[in-house]
Amino acid sequence: MKLALLGHGKTGSKVQELWKDQIELFDRTNVATYELLMKCDVVISFLPGEAFASLIPVLLETKKPVVTGSTGFQWPANFSETLKEKNVSWIHATNFSLGVVVVKQMIEKLNSMTHLFAEKRLSIHEVHHTKKLDAPSGTALSMKEWLALECEVTSAREGDVVGLHTLTLETPSEIIRLEHEAKNRALFAEGAIWAANYLTQYKLEPGLHTFQKVVERHLSL
């Protein structure tokens, strides 16, 4: 299986290290054209959001399965329907950590229990390296979405922190914290590779799918 890798940043370089099959790297010096992408079987992108968004038209034209961790952009309107019309499946995520899938399950469980506390304050704090441009992080926003409750979200940019997300439930008499820390960027590359292999080995209906939902589906098989 030949992989088209879009971007060679900190996470993209980890994909290149871990991928055991053929790989074609696309960056500023090797532009991703229709002809070159057609020689690949699956696409993984960790490009910045605007750069990835600019490639969406050519990616659609190829009808190749895509795995993307690009953030900081808006998906085109009704994009999942567009993919269905093209009969192609894409997987996207703000965080490709399999551990974050476990965190999602815990957050959804917490949501069903918060009524136990008459007084409570919910907050999410995320910390990333100083070169990360978007804030709050996509993962923090996803956590708030999974929680589906009023929740303050704050951010910090420090050193070379890979990713630290903390959900706190505070009452007048106790504090509950749910925390996920990424120790290195290899975990994001591993998750993206898992998703790429899934797209080539299993039947996934056409459309735009979240990584978390695909993993949950796989666990239920």
What residues are labeled active site?
Answer: 128, 132
Token pair for residue 82? 């567009």
Task: Taking the CA atoms of 6, 47, 66 and 179 in sequence, report the sign of the dihedral they define.
Answer: positive
Q: Compute the distance between CA of residue 121 and CA of residue 123 in angstroms, rounded to an integer.
A: 7
* Secondary structure (DSSP) of 55-117: HHHHHHHHT--EEE---SSPPPTTHHHHHHHHT-EEEE-S---HHHHHHHHHHHHHHTTGGG-
Distance CA 56, CA 49 (A): 11
Cβ burial of 49 (10 Å; 0-12, 13-18, 19+) is middle
Answer for the pair 127, 158: CB distance below 8 angstroms, yes or no.
yes
Report yes or no: 176 and 68 within 8 Å, Cβ to Cβ.
Answer: no
Cis peptide before 136 (omega within 30 of 0): yes
